[in-house]
Amino acid sequence: MKSHNEFTAREVAVLVEEFRSEFRAFGEGLQDLREKVDRIEGRLAYIEANFATKEDLRIFAKIFNDRLTTLEKE
């Protein structure tokens, strides 16, 4: 007589197949998440590039305004 803590080979095989199925579904979900993160990274890189450009323009505007002020004083 088997105790309640023992499994037959068939029961173990069923459990293993259930785990495989769950891991497969988890892996597919993880792949979807990776693709979304990749898209977000691409969009963030674009935003960062534009932000740097705007910061450069702010610096240029300050320098330009300073020079213009100097010329106007002359």
Residue the block writes with tokens 């979807």: 32
Q: What is the pLDDT of residues 16-65, one digit of tens each?
A: 999 999 999 999 999 999 999 999 999 999 998 888 788 888 999 999 99
Residue 4 lies in a domain: no
- Range(s) of the domain holding residue 51: 9-72
Residue 5: per-residue pLDDT: 80
The number of distinct structural domains making up the chain is 1
Residue 29 lies in a domain: yes
pTM of the model: 0.53
Whether 36 and 43 have beta carbons less than 8 Å apart is answered as: no
- d(Cα 15, Cα 9) in Å, to the nearest integer? 10
Tokens of 25: 């579904």
Residue 2 lies in a domain: no
Residue 9: per-residue pLDDT: 94
Residue 64 lies in a domain: yes
